[in-house]
Structure 1
């Protein structure tokens, strides 16, 4: 006996449990859009290089990025290394730390 595909589909619908689940997103979550563009360490603004030279002279810049947030504010994310220790600095174009 051959069962038609429509009959199989109806049979599956009949035996499949109905789940009424709703997914709710948290209301207190802020989504921050931002973009990152790689920057060569030698192309960082002079005030940023000055901060690195004075306050982080023992550290070597391993990578740097210009980060632009969705509100168009910008800062430099700078990854630095000293021996086996690594750290990340966020500095504005004036060489001041930002959060």
Structure 2
């Protein structure tokens, strides 16, 4: 699939395919693919959020910690499910 990317250096439009690092045909500057950059930032953000989650099970955790984190995850999901049920109930009752 071909796409057009504007060179940030010389403002020339370049038609590229998504095959690795692309260079501007006019000045030779490396083109920044904004779509790939957004996807990379999103993946980095997701990984950072996953690392911050207190119930993430790491490979170095002991059996007790793994069990405790699994119980914590289950408790969290039960709590959120109950809250969602009450929110749904409050939305349905007035009707």
TM-score interval for Structure 1 and Structure 2 normalised by the shorter chain = under 0.3
Choose between structure 1 and 2: higher helix proportion. 2
Choose between structure 1 and 2: higher strand proportion. 1
Higher RCO (CA < 8 A, seq sep 6+): 1
Structure with max Cα Rg? 1
TM-score w.r.t. length of structure 1: 0.21
